[in-house]
Structure 1
Amino acid sequence: MSKHIRFSFLIIFCISSWSVFGQSGKIKGLVTNQDGNPIEFANISVKGTSKGAVSTASGSFEILGLSDGQFTVTASSIGFEAVSQTVTINSGGTVEISFSLQEVLQGLQTVEITGRREIGYDNKETFSGTKTASMVKDVPASINFVTKELMLDQVAFTVNDVVKNVAGVNQFSFYNDITIRGFRVQGQRNFGTLLNGMRTFTSFWKPQLIPHIERVEVIKGPVSALFGNASPGGSINRVTKKPLAESRKSISASVGSFNTLRTLADFTGAMTEDKKLLYRLNLGFENSDGFRDLQFSRNLVIAPSFAFLPSENTSLNFDIVYQDSKGRLDRGQAAFGNRDLFTTPITTSLSAVNDFLDETTINTTVSLRHNFSDKISFNSTYQLSSYTEDLLEHRTSNRFASLADGSFDETKVAMRVFIRKRSWNNNAINNYINADYQIGSIKNTALIGYDYFRQEQLPGGSQLEARSYLLKNGTATNGFNPANIDNYALDANGNPATNVAHFDLTSPTANGMRDMSNYIYNTVTFNQFLQQSHGIYLQNQSEIGPLKVLLGLRQEYFTDYLNYNSPAEEKVDQQALLPRVGLVYTLNPTINFYGTWVQGYQPQGAAGIINPEAGGPFDPLTSEMFEVGAKSEWFNKRVSATLSLYQIVERGGLYNANDPNNPERLVQLGEEESQGVELNVTGNILPNWSIVAGYAFNDAKITQADDESVIGRQKPNAPRNTANFWSKYIFENGSLNGLGIGLGYNYVSDRFGSIVSSERPDVFPSYGIIDAALYYKIDKVQFQVNVNNLTDKTHWVGGYDVIRAFPGAPRNIMTTVSYTF
């Protein structure tokens, strides 16, 4: 260890020691509910200081290092009214107090203005499931969470890193591209990806960053009755960290494999003594080369958030997320044409060293809540998001090198070049009113709302494309047709001459600098387009004894303006009426049964397809889901579990058309069906023993199609079986006090790649990955070592075919030092 490192640790140790031993007063006590039962994870704070604690499973807590004087101590917990007491510490003594908190569901926020106080892997409340403050167990839907605590324990940095903790969810590719119950959720589209419950625009090429995220929510099934345009499998909602009234500060630094460096910072607290103005600032930086040739990530996140609480009835939140991402676009590993993925190293990428991908995303959210009375509240949210893409890439033409006789040289990959710039602006508005009322003995909560979403591609969007093969007329094309060989320029061997040289999979220098000066380019202009939707929705939740009934209805109006602001402007209108019915029956205080029926809707005009050569416009996707299940709480409500059985039918999905003249063209298939069973378990068996586990069986297949050969096939990148497990245990006594261990396992069964682009789909094999971690905490400093893919298992997280396969990372190690103050 160098002198500088030893000196740094000495300084940290001295600061930590001074902060703990320089003051010796102590407050200890107990937190219970009105029945005398202990409340775990209650937050206890000391006004005017940064001191605080969280109650254990027995409801006990201790706050150390207080000076002499008088203090106001407050105990609070989600679903309970906060209680404060005044205590006096003399001569460094110990004061014992107890709190009895009254349960009050109305105490939940109707909009998430301030931060989540729960600490741990479990999450008891939801806002997105019904757009009302609800306990998760009372919502007739499967909603799974990955909290920031689990993200930190697994040193996760992107959404792709955390979806492995949710049954029925897996990666489709390297990108912002996820499969939920066999259905795809992608970036650069206005469905399936939510930020703070609002439809937003994201990158497709890079996974979404999470240093500023409080939790990732996966809402299973088509949630169109609330959000309109939605994927049949489900939606992923990222909830940003919001301000807290108590002071919390943390910083961490991680270094590890693939030249990875990460730093995180999270600061929150009150800006005024009356705690009516709160702040939070999250910072994240990553610099990593990754395990793939020429690939790298340079990511910066700056995310300030402010909450203004002028009165008990009114609150306002202002939230900004700035993300800057630099790297190269990784189109995946290409193997030789014998379909054996092991024939080339998983590090093989097709990029050239002069490629780049620069992306900038800015999201701004303003949320207002106002209570007109204790029964009527108004909520309004506005979100503005912008995204800019600047790209240069050498990429495959999705086929091997063509030879004159129509065969292929399967050691070389046909290539092309894209140089592209595009920008989007997106506006979303959501306004709704909640009203509690009672008819006889039946309690009701009504919701009426209106939302608007507008997505616009800005002027100037354009692309230069250098295609694969030269034609005699001085242009270029991506495909070679031997029947028209006279139209092609030929090389000395009589094979089609290349405009962009093939990528030689056997060459150790294939990733070198490419001379682009002689390429023949075609210019593609992305005409402005505008998509906008209006939705009016109604919902009523009734409580009839142990039975809760949810009825919802949404009228959606969608308009797609193609060639916007030009003489060729074309307007495409669609609309849909979207119902939702849900039932929850409380068998006893720890078990609820539920059932739900919903219909989904997803417009897919040509402007909304990522690739302009895909074709269209296409008919909208429609979907329908039936689901039944049970939700339970164990170990004094510390552990939550959801068991669900479902059937989803979708009509109108898009797949590759296998068109030799346009390899990007898509076709609509008739019908797809997904049915299965899922089990998710999350929480704390003991206060020092956390667990997340799940299993999913998913039978997702094509049931109707023009091409009868694909009927009955499993959908692309939709594994029939997935399983996940992660557990963390912290020793609290004896010589091992402060030491913790973590162990995880993830299994994904084999999957098909693209099912239409070839008669025999490529298969990506099953895999099981073991992860492990070691933790050691000394006061406010924690040392953490994570080993991912402990057995160095070669595996693929997804892919299209052997030319575009997406391998998972080999064994890697991350070492993290965190400090809280």
Structure 2
Amino acid sequence: MIYAQTGSLSGIISTDQDEAAEFINIMVEGTGLGTLSNARGEYQIDKIPEGTYWVKFSSFAYSSQKQQVIIKSGENTSMDVILTEGEMQLQTVEILGRAETTYKNTRSFIGTKSSTPLRDVPQSIGYVTKELALDQGAYKVNDVVKNISGVNQFTFYNDITIRGNRVKGQDVNGNLVNGMRAMTSFWKQQLIPHIERVEIIKGPASALFGNSSPGGTINRVTKKPLQEKRQSITSTVGSFNTFRILSDFTGPMTEDNTLLYRLNLGYENSGSFRDLQYSKNLVVAPSFSFLPSDKTVLNFDVVYQKSDGRLDRGQAVFGDGDLYSTPITRSLSMTNDYLKEENINATISLRHQFTDGLSFNSIFMRSDYSEDLLEHRSNNKFANLGDGSEDPSQVEMRAGIRQRTWTNNNFSNYFNYDFSTGLIKHKLLLGYDYFQQTLQPGGSQLQARGYFTADMTGSINSYNVNNKDLYALDAQGNPIPVVAHFDLNELHPNQMMDMTKYFYSTTSFPQTQLHAHGIYIQEQLEIGKLKVLLGLRQDYYTDELDYKTPEEESVTQSALIPRLGLVYELSPRVNVYGTYLQGYEPQTASIINNPEAGGPFDPLTSELMEIGAKGDLFEGRLSATMALYYLTERGALYSANDSGNPDLLVQTGKDLSKGVEFDLVGRITDNWSLVANYSYNEATVEESDDENLIGRQKPNAPKHVGNLWTKYIIASGQFKGLGFGLGTNFVSERFGSLGSTEAPPIFPAYQLVDAAIYYKMNKFQIQMNVNNVLNKTHWVGGYDYLRAFPGAPRNVMTTVSYTF
């Protein structure tokens, strides 16, 4: 018998960012032998016949590399490799999956519309990866934003505050999916089981994306196919009758790896600490990547979401403003209320590399959203008594039935051209974007509110004591409401309401359309240690009111938007930067032309001046960012809090946000992860026609926000695989709606403590998250004392994950 003479090959693969490179393919050419690197970048291949071979190291996330090796019988040969990010990643949206598997993310697409190291982007960009979301047991965007400095929750809804400015999910000016403007629910927070990471580019991003919120822009990056086969199932059960099950499958569909797939599925059926509230959610998110050559990549990505629940308008308290006077569990919903929503985003993206320096990107996204709502809610005031005063224990109510459907179409095309002139490196971007949003015909709303007329055959929206004879009065001489008042003294006031006795006003939503064209150019220069970013965008916005009717009317607005940024490399691990940005956000024509709103109104414009530093610590394991900013905003609209006219708005002349932010994210050691941030922000009204508003803090804009989360896993010994997580989140006091005369309500400061325990064995991991360990009563935000939004009490979630 003849025994083959064999040896082995081993080593460590790392990235040019000094991080371990996981799931790298290592192939010994001509032998059929190969393996994948592990989470520490380590690999080993045994039983290689003696001889000289080429070894190929490859991944779609990194440039391929070949090295020659001599294998000797009975010996182990060591070969360490450093890989750089591959050119295939240089596109506006990520067509292939993220290679990193930690809290840290080293590159950004949203900052420059190309793959750029975060420390080379002259602007603060925060992010939360799927790994951090899993460790914290997070399921929604609002659950994870606390991990980013300068960001906090605004209400229960799909809205957050960034640097003192509110960003609403239904506004396409601050909400992106894979860098494209998306239409989503405003009422329900966005789910993240299909999300690779949540990113926030702070400050106006108008020079890249057109009309955008002054405070910042949220981008949700969906999970993309990977070359390696990975499969996982995760299930969570816990407090408030929570049940969730998620699955994630990815890998090649063909032997030559030219067709890849990924499928994310999610289902939730959960209750709430709030009366009558529940969530039934379904997410189906398939994604496919086709790579016919090393120059062309095509991706098709779909996310379908269906939601069933009730709309929670917040907690109402007694008229003295004592937030503790009613239980935080109490909502104003009735048992026959419902909110049903459907949302679908379908994206097709193409990238082609013409030459080593010239590439083309084309992306189209269709985004549809439909809403079917029946609700009982406060009329934003207490009940009227016959003498014209109000009863501070009775909430005036109204009911509404509404159906609406929106359709968005996004089309983005641009060229990247990389070239050099002498010692100067250039990255030139030239692009064109088109965006269209249509409120589809057929939308309508029924509203029941106010008080019965004297003959009980109609209703009047508000009560006027000077015209008392016009109203139906009860035995005590008080006006009879169309929708029964909500009695705060009752222990269980929620019930099934007989809506057939209401008098309704009917509103039809005429079809409207908004479309925008944007032409932009961007140049990134690199001169030694200095990097310069120059950008200029010309946008044209057109609103079509009463679209496709004889009353059709067009309103057109335009803006020229510049951007300037500088980055200087102080050392190989530390960069400093400065930036100047302008933002432009046109007020929609429906607001401009609404006589009830009190317009006309000027467009919302903003300017940002920011300086900062970005660096890496602990041999690149931990990234640090510090930013100082001065953000001015002109033309912001706020509710006038006029109960007689809920559409009435007031516009401030100038708002100012200024402050400082610190962020740390990454790993101190291989088994010790850390996220920490702090921000100080002064956000006030500086100029307004209403002198009562000047000097006031902006709504739900805390001066101090801090967060810490750390996780430690025991790596060896008897307790190997056992881990612990601990975190705290602090938010200082906030003010509610500005109003115009009365002082705004105050929501107190709070500090929460969260904890977790983990145990991983082979392919199983079980974890238990305890949120709000100290059971602190707190409020995440609110408008007023009839719409306060309490945070969840102590709750426990248990999650089991299986990877196969």
Normalised by the length of structure 2, the TM-score is 0.94
Return the offset for 1:510: 1.3
Return the offset for 1:107: 5.7
Query: Which of 689, 692, 696 is 1:713 aligned to?
Result: 696
Cα–Cα, structure 1 residues 113 and 643, in superposed 2: closer, same or farther, change >3 Å?
A: same
Return the offset for 1:60: 3.5
**1:269 and 2:276 aligned:** no
Query: Which of 607, 613, 630 is 1:630 aligned to?
Result: 613
Asked if the contact 2:593–2:600 (Cα under 8 Å) also holds between the matched residues in 1, the reply is no
Structure 2: stretches of 5+ with no match in the other structure: 1-6
Query: Which of 319, 322, 328 is 2:304 aligned to?
Result: 322
Write the distance in 1 (CA, Å) between the matches of 2:361 and 2:539.
Answer: 20
**1:98 and 2:79 aligned:** yes
Q: Tell me what 1:199 maps to.
A: 181
**1:573 and 2:553 aligned:** no
Q: Tell me what 1:803 maps to.
A: 786
Asked if the contact 1:44–1:55 (Cα under 8 Å) also holds between the matched residues in 2, the reply is no
Q: Tell me what 1:54 maps to.
A: 38
CA offsets 1:735-759 (integer angstroms, 9 cap, x no match): 2210010011100000000111551
Cα–Cα, structure 1 residues 38 and 420, in superposed 2: closer, same or farther, change >3 Å?
A: closer
Q: Tell me what 2:445 maps to.
A: 463
Amino acid at match of 1:198: M
CA offsets 1:792-821 (integer angstroms, 9 cap, x no match): 000000000110000000000000110111
Query: Which of 212, 218, 222 is 2:194 aligned to?
Result: 212
Cα–Cα, structure 1 residues 608 and 69, in superposed 2: closer, same or farther, change >3 Å?
A: farther
Equivalences for residues 599-638 of structure 1 within 5 A: 599-607=582-590, 614=597, 616=599, 618-638=601-621
Return the offset for 1:472: 3.7
**1:505 and 2:488 aligned:** yes
Normalised by the length of structure 1, the TM-score is 0.92
Query: Which of 316, 324, 335 is 1:342 aligned to?
Result: 324
SS in 2 for 1:495: coil
Equivalences for residues 435-514 of structure 1 within 5 A: 435-472=417-454, 474-514=457-497
Q: Tell me what 2:4 maps to.
A: none
Q: Tell me what 1:159 maps to.
A: 141
SS in 2 for 1:374: coil
Query: Which of 167, 170, 188 is 1:185 aligned to?
Result: 167
Q: Tell me what 2:657 maps to.
A: 674
Q: Tell me what 2:3 maps to.
A: none
Cα–Cα, structure 1 residues 152 and 102, in superposed 2: closer, same or farther, change >3 Å?
A: closer
**1:782 and 2:765 aligned:** yes
Give the stretch that moved more between structures: 660-669 or 620-629.
660-669
Q: Tell me what 1:332 maps to.
A: 314
Cα–Cα, structure 1 residues 732 and 104, in superposed 2: closer, same or farther, change >3 Å?
A: closer
Write the distance in 2 (CA, Å) between the matches of 1:164 and 1:104.
Answer: 30
Query: Which of 516, 521, 525 is 2:508 aligned to?
Result: 525
**1:129 and 2:117 aligned:** no
**1:148 and 2:130 aligned:** yes
Write the distance in 2 (CA, Å) between the matches of 1:502 and 1:94.
Answer: 85
Q: Tell me what 1:650 maps to.
A: 633
Amino acid at match of 1:781: F
Query: Which of 8, 11, 20 is 1:40 aligned to?
Result: 20
Return the offset for 1:110: 2.2
Return the offset for 1:638: 1.1
Cα–Cα, structure 1 residues 69 and 286, in superposed 2: closer, same or farther, change >3 Å?
A: farther
SS in 2 for 1:342: coil
Write the distance in 1 (CA, Å) between the matches of 2:24 and 2:651.
Answer: 56
Write the distance in 1 (CA, Å) between the matches of 2:229 and 2:755.
Answer: 32
Return the offset for 1:355: 0.2
Return the offset for 1:54: 2.9
Return the offset for 1:634: 0.7
Return the offset for 1:101: 3.0
Asked if the contact 1:416–1:478 (Cα under 8 Å) also holds between the matched residues in 2, the reply is no
Q: Over aligned residues, Cα RMSD in angstroms?
A: 2.7
Return the offset for 1:490: 1.9
Q: How many residues align?
A: 791
Equivalences for residues 554-593 of structure 1 within 5 A: 554-593=537-576
Amino acid at match of 2:558: Q
Q: Tell me what 1:723 maps to.
A: 706
Q: Tell me what 1:21 maps to.
A: none
**1:695 and 2:678 aligned:** yes
Query: Which of 236, 241, 244 is 2:218 aligned to?
Result: 236
Cα–Cα, structure 1 residues 781 and 487, in superposed 2: closer, same or farther, change >3 Å?
A: same
CA offsets 1:566-592 (integer angstroms, 9 cap, x no match): 222221100000000000000110110
Asked if the contact 2:332–2:378 (Cα under 8 Å) also holds between the matched residues in 1, the reply is yes
Return the offset for 1:67: 13
Write the distance in 2 (CA, Å) between the matches of 1:63 and 1:252.
Answer: 32
SS in 1 for 2:590: helix
Cα–Cα, structure 1 residues 104 and 815, in superposed 2: closer, same or farther, change >3 Å?
A: closer
SS in 2 for 1:286: strand
Structure 1: stretches of 5+ with no match in the other structure: 1-24
Amino acid at match of 2:239: S
Write the distance in 2 (CA, Å) between the matches of 1:300 and 1:89.
Answer: 53
Cα–Cα, structure 1 residues 516 and 74, in superposed 2: closer, same or farther, change >3 Å?
A: farther
Cα–Cα, structure 1 residues 67 and 512, in superposed 2: closer, same or farther, change >3 Å?
A: farther
Cα–Cα, structure 1 residues 104 and 660, in superposed 2: closer, same or farther, change >3 Å?
A: closer
Return the offset for 1:38: 6.4
Amino acid at match of 1:110: Q
Give the stretch that moved more between structures: 240-249 or 82-91.
82-91
Write the distance in 2 (CA, Å) between the matches of 1:348 and 1:538.
Answer: 52
Equivalences for residues 1-20 of structure 1 within 5 A: none
SS in 1 for 2:63: coil
SS in 1 for 2:718: helix
SS in 1 for 2:79: strand
Cα–Cα, structure 1 residues 410 and 270, in superposed 2: closer, same or farther, change >3 Å?
A: same
Asked if the contact 1:296–1:328 (Cα under 8 Å) also holds between the matched residues in 2, the reply is yes
Write the distance in 2 (CA, Å) between the matches of 1:706 and 1:712.
Answer: 13
Return the offset for 1:346: 0.4
Asked if the contact 1:45–1:73 (Cα under 8 Å) also holds between the matched residues in 2, the reply is no
Write the distance in 2 (CA, Å) between the matches of 1:511 and 1:156.
Answer: 30
Write the distance in 1 (CA, Å) between the matches of 2:570 and 2:207.
Answer: 27
SS in 2 for 1:151: helix
Write the distance in 1 (CA, Å) between the matches of 2:280 and 2:34.
Answer: 34
Give the stretch that moved more between structures: 547-556 or 482-491.
482-491
Return the offset for 1:509: 3.1
Query: Which of 749, 752, 760 is 1:766 aligned to?
Result: 749
CA offsets 1:46-73 (integer angstroms, 9 cap, x no match): 67999744342xx534689x99999998
Asked if the contact 2:593–2:599 (Cα under 8 Å) also holds between the matched residues in 1, the reply is no
CA offsets 1:372-431 (integer angstroms, 9 cap, x no match): 100010001000010010000001100011112221111110000010110011000000
Amino acid at match of 1:804: R
Return the offset for 1:77: 7.0
Cα–Cα, structure 1 residues 159 and 776, in superposed 2: closer, same or farther, change >3 Å?
A: same
SS in 2 for 1:150: helix
**1:393 and 2:375 aligned:** yes
CA offsets 1:126-178 (integer angstroms, 9 cap, x no match): 11101122111100000111000001111111100100111100111000011
Amino acid at match of 2:784: D
**Sequence identity, in percent?**
58
CA offsets 1:519-577 (integer angstroms, 9 cap, x no match): 00000111111001000001101011111001100001000111111222221100000
Write the distance in 2 (CA, Å) between the matches of 1:341 and 1:553.
Answer: 48
